[in-house]
Amino acid sequence: MLAKCYVVLFFFLTLISSLGYSSNDAKLQEIQHKNAKFFIALPSGSLPVYFDCEEMWGQFEMHAGEIVERSTPTNEGVGCTVFWVRLYAYIVARIDEFWIIKTDGLFSTIDHIHWTKVISWRNNTRI
């Protein structure tokens, strides 16, 4: 009888524990899916790409081959001016967007299959 109680108790604790983990997994997935991602697909050895974003992200730089994720709290997105060499572009990065930055412009997708060229680089005549 005592052994049956331990078995039932063990089963009950295992069930509660697994529910807790799936709850934590769901929270982790929810957090992970509220990111915008950037990949720098420029030739190796290229000058870095500089981001000057709204206050939430501030300023940061990335190098060829780098991938960075930034938290995006709302679907309104975060605006960034992106600079590379003597070129610039302005984007708004939203939840679940993945951006690829290439020599011919900035491309975006939400499904990793259909890519859209969002903007071409513009000359920065002030430099």
The helix or strand, by DSSP H or E, that contains position 3, with its residue range, turns out to be helix 2-32
Predicted local confidence at residue 8, as pLDDT? 42
The helix or strand, by DSSP H or E, that contains position 9, with its residue range, turns out to be helix 2-32
- E-strand stretches of the chain: 35-40, 49-53, 59-62, 67-71, 78-84, 87-93, 98-102, 105-109, 116-119, 122-123
Residue 95 CB neighbour total at 10 angstroms:
17
Q: Which CATH number fits domain 35-123: 1.10.20, 2.60.40, 1.10.287, 3.40.50?
A: 2.60.40
Mean pLDDT over 19-40 rounds to 60
* pTM greater than 0.85 (yes/no): no
- Cα gap 100→94, rounded to integer Å: 14
* pLDDT (tens digit per residue) in 59-77: 999 999 999 999 987 778 9
Give me the residue spans of the domains in the chain: 1-32, 35-123
